[in-house]
Chain A
Amino acid sequence: MSKTYHLTTPLDDEITSKLHSGDIVYISGTIYTARDAAHKRLVDLLDEGKELPFDIKGAIIYFVGPTPPKPGDPIGSAGPTTSYRMDSYSPRLIAEGLKGMIGKGKRNEAVTDACQKHKAIYFGATGGAGALLGKKIESAEVIAYEELGPEAIRKLEVVDFPVTVINDTYGKDLYKIGRSQYEVK
Protein backbone atom coordinates (compact mmCIF):
# COMPACT_ATOMS: atom_id res chain seq x y z
CA MET A 1 0.00 0.00 0.00
CA SER A 2 1.46 3.33 -1.02
CA LYS A 3 2.15 5.87 1.75
CA THR A 4 2.48 9.65 1.64
CA TYR A 5 5.41 11.52 3.19
CA HIS A 6 6.40 15.17 3.59
CA LEU A 7 10.21 15.41 3.64
CA THR A 8 12.70 18.21 4.08
CA THR A 9 16.20 18.15 2.58
CA PRO A 10 18.93 17.05 3.20
CA LEU A 11 18.03 13.34 3.27
CA ASP A 12 19.80 10.64 5.27
CA ASP A 13 19.83 6.85 5.35
CA GLU A 14 17.17 6.72 8.03
CA ILE A 15 14.76 8.70 5.83
CA THR A 16 15.53 6.95 2.54
CA SER A 17 15.17 3.50 4.15
CA LYS A 18 11.56 4.33 5.07
CA LEU A 19 10.56 4.93 1.46
CA HIS A 20 9.17 2.26 -0.87
CA SER A 21 8.42 2.19 -4.60
CA GLY A 22 5.01 3.75 -5.17
CA ASP A 23 5.09 6.06 -2.14
CA ILE A 24 4.07 9.67 -2.76
CA VAL A 25 6.53 12.23 -1.38
CA TYR A 26 6.25 16.02 -1.06
CA ILE A 27 9.72 17.52 -0.88
CA SER A 28 10.55 20.87 0.74
CA GLY A 29 13.89 22.62 1.11
CA THR A 30 16.91 22.92 -1.17
CA ILE A 31 17.36 20.85 -4.31
CA TYR A 32 19.89 21.29 -7.13
CA THR A 33 19.30 21.14 -10.87
CA ALA A 34 21.68 19.41 -13.25
CA ARG A 35 21.30 17.64 -16.58
CA ASP A 36 23.55 16.16 -19.24
CA ALA A 37 26.37 18.69 -19.65
CA ALA A 38 26.45 19.66 -15.95
CA HIS A 39 26.67 16.00 -14.91
CA LYS A 40 29.68 15.50 -17.12
CA ARG A 41 31.39 18.49 -15.51
CA LEU A 42 30.60 17.28 -11.96
CA VAL A 43 32.11 13.86 -12.63
CA ASP A 44 35.14 15.47 -14.32
CA LEU A 45 35.68 17.54 -11.14
CA LEU A 46 35.59 14.39 -9.01
CA ASP A 47 38.07 12.71 -11.37
CA GLU A 48 40.40 15.67 -10.93
CA GLY A 49 40.03 15.50 -7.16
CA LYS A 50 38.40 18.93 -7.01
CA GLU A 51 35.47 20.14 -4.93
CA LEU A 52 31.93 20.14 -6.31
CA PRO A 53 30.06 23.47 -6.56
CA PHE A 54 27.59 22.32 -3.86
CA ASP A 55 27.56 19.89 -0.93
CA ILE A 56 26.41 16.59 -2.36
CA LYS A 57 26.04 14.80 0.99
CA GLY A 58 22.33 14.13 1.47
CA ALA A 59 21.47 16.26 -1.57
CA ILE A 60 18.79 15.81 -4.20
CA ILE A 61 19.49 16.54 -7.88
CA TYR A 62 16.57 17.42 -10.15
CA PHE A 63 17.08 16.60 -13.83
CA VAL A 64 15.52 19.68 -15.38
CA GLY A 65 16.20 22.34 -17.98
CA PRO A 66 13.66 25.07 -17.17
CA THR A 67 12.28 27.67 -19.54
CA PRO A 68 13.52 31.24 -18.96
CA PRO A 69 11.56 33.01 -16.18
CA LYS A 70 9.16 35.75 -17.09
CA PRO A 71 9.97 39.08 -15.43
CA GLY A 72 9.13 38.80 -11.72
CA ASP A 73 9.05 34.98 -11.62
CA PRO A 74 11.83 32.92 -9.98
CA ILE A 75 11.74 30.30 -12.74
CA GLY A 76 9.74 29.32 -15.82
CA SER A 77 8.21 25.92 -16.51
CA ALA A 78 10.22 23.20 -14.84
CA GLY A 79 9.19 19.59 -15.35
CA PRO A 80 11.61 16.64 -15.32
CA THR A 81 13.69 15.55 -18.29
CA THR A 82 14.26 11.90 -19.26
CA SER A 83 16.71 10.44 -16.76
CA TYR A 84 18.54 7.64 -18.60
CA ARG A 85 20.91 10.17 -20.14
CA MET A 86 22.35 10.70 -16.66
CA ASP A 87 22.82 6.95 -16.03
CA SER A 88 26.53 6.96 -16.76
CA TYR A 89 27.16 9.68 -14.15
CA SER A 90 24.66 9.00 -11.34
CA PRO A 91 26.36 5.98 -9.65
CA ARG A 92 29.51 8.05 -9.11
CA LEU A 93 27.55 10.90 -7.52
CA ILE A 94 25.54 8.47 -5.38
CA ALA A 95 28.81 6.99 -4.08
CA GLU A 96 29.81 10.55 -3.09
CA GLY A 97 26.70 10.96 -0.95
CA LEU A 98 23.89 11.98 -3.32
CA LYS A 99 20.66 10.69 -1.72
CA GLY A 100 18.00 11.56 -4.24
CA MET A 101 17.40 12.12 -7.94
CA ILE A 102 14.23 13.49 -9.51
CA GLY A 103 13.50 12.76 -13.16
CA LYS A 104 11.28 10.68 -15.38
CA GLY A 105 11.73 7.36 -17.12
CA LYS A 106 13.76 4.21 -16.62
CA ARG A 107 17.21 3.95 -15.00
CA ASN A 108 19.77 1.26 -15.74
CA GLU A 109 20.95 -1.48 -13.41
CA ALA A 110 24.11 0.38 -12.38
CA VAL A 111 21.93 3.20 -11.02
CA THR A 112 19.40 0.99 -9.26
CA ASP A 113 22.25 -1.09 -7.77
CA ALA A 114 23.90 2.10 -6.50
CA CYS A 115 20.57 3.17 -4.97
CA GLN A 116 20.44 -0.11 -3.07
CA LYS A 117 24.08 -0.09 -2.01
CA HIS A 118 24.25 3.53 -0.85
CA LYS A 119 20.60 3.98 0.20
CA ALA A 120 19.62 6.54 -2.40
CA ILE A 121 16.21 7.07 -4.02
CA TYR A 122 15.15 7.72 -7.60
CA PHE A 123 12.00 9.83 -7.58
CA GLY A 124 9.72 10.35 -10.58
CA ALA A 125 8.05 13.70 -11.19
CA THR A 126 5.26 14.09 -13.74
CA GLY A 127 6.78 14.69 -17.16
CA GLY A 128 5.27 17.63 -18.99
CA ALA A 129 3.71 19.13 -15.85
CA GLY A 130 6.15 22.02 -16.17
CA ALA A 131 3.69 24.80 -15.36
CA LEU A 132 2.39 23.06 -12.24
CA LEU A 133 5.85 22.00 -10.97
CA GLY A 134 7.38 25.40 -11.71
CA LYS A 135 4.92 26.88 -9.20
CA LYS A 136 6.35 24.69 -6.40
CA ILE A 137 9.71 26.43 -6.79
CA GLU A 138 9.97 29.53 -4.61
CA SER A 139 13.45 30.64 -5.59
CA ALA A 140 16.14 29.73 -8.09
CA GLU A 141 19.76 30.82 -8.23
CA VAL A 142 22.36 29.76 -10.78
CA ILE A 143 25.36 28.53 -8.76
CA ALA A 144 27.53 27.03 -11.52
CA TYR A 145 28.01 26.82 -15.29
CA GLU A 146 25.83 29.80 -16.20
CA GLU A 147 27.08 29.48 -19.80
CA LEU A 148 25.13 26.22 -20.12
CA GLY A 149 21.86 28.18 -20.12
CA PRO A 150 18.98 25.81 -19.30
CA GLU A 151 21.58 23.18 -18.33
CA ALA A 152 23.30 25.34 -15.70
CA ILE A 153 23.30 24.17 -12.06
CA ARG A 154 20.64 25.98 -10.07
CA LYS A 155 19.96 25.95 -6.35
CA LEU A 156 16.19 25.75 -5.91
CA GLU A 157 14.06 26.25 -2.83
CA VAL A 158 10.95 24.12 -3.18
CA VAL A 159 7.79 23.70 -1.13
CA ASP A 160 5.77 20.47 -1.28
CA PHE A 161 7.27 19.44 -4.60
CA PRO A 162 5.27 16.31 -5.59
CA VAL A 163 7.17 13.14 -6.59
CA THR A 164 6.68 9.38 -6.54
CA VAL A 165 9.29 6.83 -5.43
CA ILE A 166 10.29 4.86 -8.53
CA ASN A 167 13.42 3.00 -7.35
CA ASP A 168 13.76 2.46 -3.60
CA THR A 169 16.67 1.23 -1.46
CA TYR A 170 15.40 -2.36 -1.66
CA GLY A 171 15.80 -2.90 -5.41
CA LYS A 172 12.12 -2.38 -6.26
CA ASP A 173 11.06 -0.55 -9.45
CA LEU A 174 7.61 1.06 -9.71
CA TYR A 175 7.69 0.97 -13.53
CA LYS A 176 7.97 -2.83 -13.45
CA ILE A 177 5.50 -3.33 -10.59
CA GLY A 178 2.88 -0.95 -12.05
CA ARG A 179 3.08 -2.33 -15.57
CA SER A 180 2.83 -5.97 -14.47
CA GLN A 181 -0.48 -5.16 -12.75
CA TYR A 182 -2.13 -3.91 -15.92
CA GLU A 183 -0.42 -5.81 -18.72
CA VAL A 184 -2.76 -8.07 -20.74
CA LYS A 185 -0.79 -10.99 -22.20
Chain B
Amino acid sequence: MREIAYEEIVKNVRDIIIYSASNLPQDALKAMKEAYENEKSPVSKEVLKQLLDNADIASSEARPLCQDTGLAVFFIKLGADVKVVGGLLKDAINEGTEKGYIEGYLRASTCHPFSRANNKDTVGYNLPAIIHLDIVEGDKIEIEYAAKGGGSENVSRARVFPPAAGKQGVIDYVKECISDAGPNPCPPLTVGVGIGGTFEKAAISSKHALFRDIGSKNEDPEMAELEHEIKTELNKLGIGTMGMGGTETVLAVHIEANPCHIASLPVSVNVQCHSSRHTHITI
Protein backbone atom coordinates (compact mmCIF):
# COMPACT_ATOMS: atom_id res chain seq x y z
CA MET B 1 0.00 0.00 0.00
CA ARG B 2 1.52 3.32 -1.10
CA GLU B 3 0.79 6.31 1.09
CA ILE B 4 0.16 9.69 -0.54
CA ALA B 5 -0.10 12.75 1.67
CA TYR B 6 -3.25 14.85 1.60
CA GLU B 7 -1.11 17.98 1.24
CA GLU B 8 0.62 16.62 -1.85
CA ILE B 9 -2.73 16.26 -3.60
CA VAL B 10 -3.75 19.78 -2.52
CA LYS B 11 -0.53 21.22 -3.96
CA ASN B 12 -0.79 19.34 -7.25
CA VAL B 13 -4.42 20.36 -7.77
CA ARG B 14 -3.63 24.00 -6.94
CA ASP B 15 -0.73 24.03 -9.38
CA ILE B 16 -2.56 22.48 -12.34
CA ILE B 17 -5.49 24.88 -11.90
CA ILE B 18 -3.24 27.93 -12.02
CA TYR B 19 -1.14 26.56 -14.88
CA SER B 20 -4.14 25.52 -17.00
CA ALA B 21 -5.83 28.91 -16.69
CA SER B 22 -3.14 30.64 -18.74
CA ASN B 23 -1.52 27.88 -20.80
CA LEU B 24 -3.45 26.37 -23.67
CA PRO B 25 -2.32 22.72 -24.01
CA GLN B 26 -0.23 21.73 -27.03
CA ASP B 27 -3.00 19.66 -28.66
CA ALA B 28 -5.39 22.63 -28.54
CA LEU B 29 -2.76 25.04 -29.87
CA LYS B 30 -1.92 22.69 -32.74
CA ALA B 31 -5.61 22.32 -33.64
CA MET B 32 -6.15 26.09 -33.54
CA LYS B 33 -3.12 26.69 -35.77
CA GLU B 34 -4.43 24.12 -38.26
CA ALA B 35 -7.83 25.82 -38.21
CA TYR B 36 -6.10 29.13 -38.91
CA GLU B 37 -4.30 27.62 -41.92
CA ASN B 38 -7.45 25.98 -43.30
CA GLU B 39 -10.02 28.73 -42.67
CA LYS B 40 -11.48 30.18 -45.89
CA SER B 41 -13.28 33.19 -44.37
CA PRO B 42 -11.04 36.25 -43.90
CA VAL B 43 -13.14 37.44 -40.93
CA SER B 44 -12.91 34.11 -39.11
CA LYS B 45 -9.19 33.92 -39.93
CA GLU B 46 -8.68 37.33 -38.35
CA VAL B 47 -10.51 36.26 -35.20
CA LEU B 48 -8.48 33.03 -35.04
CA LYS B 49 -5.35 35.18 -35.23
CA GLN B 50 -6.63 37.18 -32.23
CA LEU B 51 -7.15 33.92 -30.35
CA LEU B 52 -3.63 32.68 -31.13
CA ASP B 53 -2.25 36.07 -30.00
CA ASN B 54 -4.38 35.76 -26.88
CA ALA B 55 -2.82 32.37 -26.11
CA ASP B 56 0.66 33.91 -26.47
CA ILE B 57 -0.14 36.84 -24.17
CA ALA B 58 -1.81 34.55 -21.63
CA SER B 59 1.14 32.19 -21.29
CA SER B 60 3.91 34.80 -21.46
CA GLU B 61 2.23 37.11 -18.91
CA ALA B 62 0.54 34.38 -16.85
CA ARG B 63 -2.89 35.97 -17.43
CA PRO B 64 -5.99 33.80 -17.67
CA LEU B 65 -6.82 32.90 -21.31
CA CYS B 66 -10.46 33.72 -20.66
CA GLN B 67 -12.25 35.64 -17.91
CA ASP B 68 -14.49 32.61 -17.48
CA THR B 69 -12.04 30.46 -15.58
CA GLY B 70 -14.69 27.79 -15.38
CA LEU B 71 -15.86 25.27 -12.89
CA ALA B 72 -13.18 22.77 -11.89
CA VAL B 73 -14.04 19.33 -13.29
CA PHE B 74 -12.00 16.26 -12.34
CA PHE B 75 -11.91 12.67 -13.53
CA ILE B 76 -9.84 10.81 -10.95
CA LYS B 77 -8.47 7.28 -11.25
CA LEU B 78 -7.55 6.17 -7.76
CA GLY B 79 -5.27 3.15 -7.56
CA ALA B 80 -6.62 0.45 -5.23
CA ASP B 81 -3.18 0.25 -3.59
CA VAL B 82 -3.15 3.93 -2.61
CA LYS B 83 -3.94 5.19 0.86
CA VAL B 84 -4.46 8.94 1.19
CA VAL B 85 -3.13 9.99 4.57
CA GLY B 86 -3.99 13.15 6.47
CA GLY B 87 -7.50 13.58 5.14
CA LEU B 88 -10.03 12.57 2.50
CA LEU B 89 -9.22 12.62 -1.22
CA LYS B 90 -12.36 14.65 -1.96
CA ASP B 91 -11.45 17.28 0.61
CA ALA B 92 -7.91 17.53 -0.78
CA ILE B 93 -9.26 18.17 -4.29
CA ASN B 94 -11.65 20.82 -3.03
CA GLU B 95 -8.97 22.50 -0.95
CA GLY B 96 -6.56 22.51 -3.90
CA THR B 97 -9.31 23.94 -6.09
CA GLU B 98 -10.05 26.79 -3.69
CA LYS B 99 -6.34 27.58 -3.30
CA GLY B 100 -5.79 27.51 -7.07
CA TYR B 101 -8.66 29.88 -7.80
CA ILE B 102 -7.75 32.33 -5.05
CA GLU B 103 -3.95 32.31 -5.39
CA GLY B 104 -4.12 32.35 -9.20
CA TYR B 105 -6.44 35.40 -9.23
CA LEU B 106 -9.04 33.35 -11.08
CA ARG B 107 -12.72 34.16 -11.16
CA ALA B 108 -15.09 32.50 -8.73
CA SER B 109 -18.04 31.36 -10.79
CA THR B 110 -20.15 29.18 -8.51
CA CYS B 111 -23.38 30.31 -6.94
CA HIS B 112 -26.63 29.05 -5.45
CA PRO B 113 -28.93 28.00 -8.33
CA PHE B 114 -31.76 30.34 -7.32
CA SER B 115 -30.45 33.12 -5.12
CA ARG B 116 -27.32 33.28 -7.34
CA ALA B 117 -25.41 34.25 -4.19
CA ASN B 118 -21.69 33.52 -4.27
CA ASN B 119 -19.98 33.68 -0.94
CA LYS B 120 -18.12 31.59 1.60
CA ASP B 121 -21.26 30.96 3.63
CA THR B 122 -23.02 29.15 0.86
CA VAL B 123 -20.76 27.32 -1.58
CA GLY B 124 -17.24 28.67 -1.16
CA TYR B 125 -14.80 30.08 -3.69
CA ASN B 126 -15.56 28.02 -6.80
CA LEU B 127 -16.56 25.06 -4.68
CA PRO B 128 -17.47 22.33 -4.74
CA ALA B 129 -15.34 20.95 -7.55
CA ILE B 130 -17.11 18.49 -9.85
CA ILE B 131 -15.43 15.14 -9.14
CA HIS B 132 -15.87 11.84 -10.99
CA LEU B 133 -14.04 9.01 -9.24
CA ASP B 134 -13.00 5.61 -10.52
CA ILE B 135 -11.08 2.94 -8.59
CA VAL B 136 -8.45 1.18 -10.71
CA GLU B 137 -5.52 -1.21 -10.24
CA GLY B 138 -2.16 0.14 -9.12
CA ASP B 139 -0.59 2.51 -6.61
CA LYS B 140 -1.00 5.88 -8.35
CA ILE B 141 -3.57 8.65 -8.56
CA GLU B 142 -4.31 9.89 -12.07
CA ILE B 143 -5.93 13.29 -12.23
CA GLU B 144 -7.60 14.56 -15.38
CA TYR B 145 -8.63 18.19 -14.94
CA ALA B 146 -10.51 20.71 -17.04
CA ALA B 147 -11.70 24.26 -16.39
CA LYS B 148 -15.19 24.13 -17.91
CA GLY B 149 -16.69 27.43 -19.00
CA GLY B 150 -20.38 28.30 -18.85
CA GLY B 151 -20.94 29.58 -22.39
CA SER B 152 -20.14 26.27 -24.03
CA GLU B 153 -21.70 24.18 -21.25
CA ASN B 154 -25.01 26.01 -21.69
CA VAL B 155 -25.58 24.60 -25.18
CA SER B 156 -25.02 20.96 -24.15
CA ARG B 157 -27.86 18.46 -24.47
CA ALA B 158 -28.85 14.90 -23.61
CA ARG B 159 -31.67 12.77 -24.96
CA VAL B 160 -32.68 9.11 -24.97
CA PHE B 161 -33.68 7.91 -28.45
CA PRO B 162 -35.43 4.69 -29.43
CA PRO B 163 -32.89 2.21 -30.87
CA ALA B 164 -34.33 2.67 -34.38
CA ALA B 165 -32.86 6.19 -34.48
CA GLY B 166 -29.49 4.51 -35.11
CA LYS B 167 -26.32 6.17 -36.32
CA GLN B 168 -28.17 8.69 -38.48
CA GLY B 169 -30.21 9.75 -35.46
CA VAL B 170 -26.98 10.51 -33.59
CA ILE B 171 -25.53 12.51 -36.50
CA ASP B 172 -28.73 14.55 -36.91
CA TYR B 173 -28.96 15.25 -33.18
CA VAL B 174 -25.39 16.54 -32.91
CA LYS B 175 -25.93 18.69 -36.02
CA GLU B 176 -29.10 20.17 -34.58
CA CYS B 177 -27.34 20.93 -31.30
CA ILE B 178 -24.37 22.72 -32.87
CA SER B 179 -26.51 24.50 -35.46
CA ASP B 180 -28.82 25.91 -32.79
CA ALA B 181 -25.84 26.89 -30.64
CA GLY B 182 -24.35 28.98 -33.47
CA PRO B 183 -21.89 31.58 -32.18
CA ASN B 184 -22.80 31.26 -28.48
CA PRO B 185 -20.38 28.51 -27.32
CA CYS B 186 -17.24 30.26 -28.74
CA PRO B 187 -16.33 28.15 -31.79
CA PRO B 188 -14.12 26.58 -33.03
CA LEU B 189 -15.34 23.79 -30.81
CA THR B 190 -14.45 20.36 -29.58
CA VAL B 191 -17.64 18.31 -29.45
CA GLY B 192 -17.90 15.43 -26.99
CA VAL B 193 -20.54 12.84 -27.84
CA GLY B 194 -21.56 10.22 -25.29
CA ILE B 195 -23.40 7.32 -26.87
CA GLY B 196 -25.08 4.43 -25.05
CA GLY B 197 -25.02 3.52 -21.38
CA THR B 198 -27.84 5.12 -19.44
CA PHE B 199 -29.05 8.72 -19.41
CA GLU B 200 -26.40 9.85 -16.91
CA LYS B 201 -23.65 7.60 -18.27
CA ALA B 202 -24.05 9.17 -21.71
CA ALA B 203 -23.79 12.66 -20.19
CA ILE B 204 -20.66 11.86 -18.16
CA SER B 205 -19.11 10.13 -21.20
CA SER B 206 -19.74 13.19 -23.37
CA LYS B 207 -17.90 15.30 -20.81
CA HIS B 208 -15.05 12.80 -20.46
CA ALA B 209 -14.67 12.70 -24.26
CA LEU B 210 -13.62 16.37 -24.12
CA PHE B 211 -10.60 15.45 -21.99
CA ARG B 212 -9.04 13.41 -24.80
CA ASP B 213 -6.25 15.02 -26.80
CA ILE B 214 -7.91 17.09 -29.52
CA GLY B 215 -7.81 15.23 -32.81
CA SER B 216 -6.94 11.82 -31.37
CA LYS B 217 -9.10 9.06 -32.81
CA ASN B 218 -11.44 6.68 -31.04
CA GLU B 219 -9.78 3.24 -30.78
CA ASP B 220 -12.80 1.57 -32.35
CA PRO B 221 -12.55 2.12 -36.15
CA GLU B 222 -16.34 2.34 -36.51
CA MET B 223 -16.52 5.11 -33.91
CA ALA B 224 -13.46 6.84 -35.38
CA GLU B 225 -15.21 6.92 -38.75
CA LEU B 226 -18.34 8.33 -37.14
CA GLU B 227 -16.25 11.03 -35.43
CA HIS B 228 -14.85 12.02 -38.83
CA GLU B 229 -18.27 11.97 -40.46
CA ILE B 230 -19.89 14.17 -37.80
CA LYS B 231 -16.98 16.62 -37.89
CA THR B 232 -17.33 16.96 -41.66
CA GLU B 233 -21.08 17.53 -41.34
CA LEU B 234 -20.63 20.15 -38.60
CA ASN B 235 -18.09 22.09 -40.61
CA LYS B 236 -20.63 22.36 -43.44
CA LEU B 237 -22.83 24.47 -41.14
CA GLY B 238 -20.74 27.55 -42.01
CA ILE B 239 -20.73 28.95 -38.45
CA GLY B 240 -17.00 29.73 -38.33
CA THR B 241 -14.92 31.26 -35.56
CA MET B 242 -17.15 33.06 -33.03
CA GLY B 243 -20.04 32.59 -35.49
CA MET B 244 -18.71 35.14 -37.98
CA GLY B 245 -19.14 32.65 -40.83
CA GLY B 246 -16.47 30.22 -41.99
CA THR B 247 -15.31 26.73 -42.75
CA GLU B 248 -13.66 25.76 -39.43
CA THR B 249 -16.41 25.48 -36.83
CA VAL B 250 -15.26 22.28 -35.18
CA LEU B 251 -11.70 21.30 -34.24
CA ALA B 252 -12.66 17.73 -33.38
CA VAL B 253 -15.50 15.38 -32.52
CA HIS B 254 -14.72 12.88 -29.77
CA ILE B 255 -17.06 9.96 -29.17
CA GLU B 256 -17.17 7.83 -26.04
CA ALA B 257 -19.49 4.85 -26.49
CA ASN B 258 -20.90 2.36 -23.97
CA PRO B 259 -23.14 -0.71 -24.15
CA CYS B 260 -26.76 0.18 -23.43
CA HIS B 261 -30.16 -1.28 -22.62
CA ILE B 262 -31.89 -3.11 -25.50
CA ALA B 263 -34.71 -0.56 -25.34
CA SER B 264 -32.56 2.61 -25.34
CA LEU B 265 -30.14 4.73 -27.32
CA PRO B 266 -29.00 7.54 -24.99
CA VAL B 267 -27.03 10.33 -26.66
CA SER B 268 -25.40 13.32 -25.01
CA VAL B 269 -23.58 16.26 -26.58
CA ASN B 270 -21.16 18.26 -24.44
CA VAL B 271 -19.50 21.25 -26.04
CA GLN B 272 -16.04 22.68 -25.37
CA CYS B 273 -15.11 26.17 -26.55
CA HIS B 274 -11.77 26.89 -28.27
CA SER B 275 -10.20 27.56 -24.88
CA SER B 276 -9.81 23.86 -24.13
CA ARG B 277 -7.99 24.00 -20.80
CA HIS B 278 -7.36 20.41 -19.83
CA THR B 279 -4.46 18.80 -18.00
CA HIS B 280 -3.53 15.24 -17.05
CA ILE B 281 -1.14 14.39 -14.21
CA THR B 282 -0.21 11.29 -12.27
CA ILE B 283 0.87 11.31 -8.66
**Partner-B contacts on A (CB < 8 A):** 2, 22, 36-37, 64-70, 76-79, 81-82, 84, 104-106, 124, 126-132, 134-135, 149-150, 162, 164, 174-175, 177-185
CB-contact partner of B242 in A65, A78, A126, A150, under 8 A: A126
> Does B128 interact with chain A (Cβ within 8 Å)?
no
Shortest beta-carbon distance, A62 to chain B, in Å?
Answer: 11
Shortest beta-carbon distance, B146 to chain A, in Å?
Answer: 15
A98 to B241, CA, bound (A): 28
Contacts of B245 in A (CB 8 A): 174-175, 177-182
Contacts of A22 in B (CB 8 A): 43
Shortest beta-carbon distance, B49 to chain A, in Å?
Answer: 10
Number of chain B residues close to chain A: CB under 8 A: 48
Q: Are the CB atoms of B58 and A104 closer together than 8 Å?
A: no
Q: 7 A-B contacts, Cβ less than 8 Å apart?
A: A65-B67, A67-B107, A104-B186, A128-B273, A130-B63, A150-B107, A182-B40
Q: Is the interface of B mostly helix, strand, loop or mixed?
A: loop
Q: Are the CB atoms of A67 and B237 closer together than 8 Å?
A: no
Enumerate B232-283 residues with CB–CB distance to A below 8 Å.
236-240, 242-247, 273-275
Q: Are the CB atoms of A127 and B63 closer together than 8 Å?
A: no
Contacts of A124 in B (CB 8 A): 183, 242-244
Nearest residue (CB) in A for B61 is A131
> Does B71 interact with chain A (Cβ within 8 Å)?
no
> Does B47 interact with chain A (Cβ within 8 Å)?
yes
Q: Take A84-B184, A134-B63 as given contacts and tell me if A65 and B68 are in contact as well, using a CB distance cutoff of 8 Å.
A: yes
> Does B57 interact with chain A (Cβ within 8 Å)?
yes
The tally of CB-CB contacts under 8 A between chains A and B is: 163
**Partner-A contacts on B (CB < 8 A):** 22, 40-41, 43-44, 47, 50-51, 53-54, 57-58, 61, 63-69, 105-109, 116, 118, 150-151, 154, 182-184, 186, 236-240, 242-247, 273-275
Q: Are the CB atoms of B247 and A105 closer together than 8 Å?
A: no
Chain A CB count within 10 A is highest, among B65, B66, B107, B275, for B66
Q: Beyond A82-B184, A126-B50: 18 further Cβ-contacts under 8 Å?
A: A66-B67, A67-B105, A69-B105, A81-B68, A84-B184, A106-B243, A124-B183, A124-B242, A126-B51, A128-B66, A129-B50, A129-B54, A131-B57, A149-B118, A150-B67, A175-B243, A182-B238, A182-B240
Shortest beta-carbon distance, B53 to chain A, in Å?
Answer: 6
A129 to B32, CA, bound (A): 13
7 closest A-B pairs by CB = A178-B245, A183-B238, A182-B238, A105-B184, A184-B236, A127-B186, A131-B58
Q: Are the CB atoms of B65 and A77 closer together than 8 Å?
A: yes
Contacts of A78 in B (CB 8 A): 67
A126 to B188, CA, bound (A): 12
Q: Are the CB atoms of A76 and B67 closer together than 8 Å?
A: yes
CB-contact partner of B105 in A68, A130, A174, under 8 A: A68
Q: Take A76-B67, A130-B66, A178-B246 as given contacts and tell me if A135 and B41 are in contact as well, using a CB distance cutoff of 8 Å.
A: no
Nearest residue (CB) in B for A68 is B105
A43 to B80, CA, bound (A): 56
A183 to B184, CA, bound (A): 17
Shortest beta-carbon distance, B206 to chain A, in Å?
Answer: 20
Q: Are the CB atoms of A175 and B182 closer together than 8 Å?
A: yes
A162 to B154, CA, bound (A): 26
Q: Are the CB atoms of A127 and B242 closer together than 8 Å?
A: yes
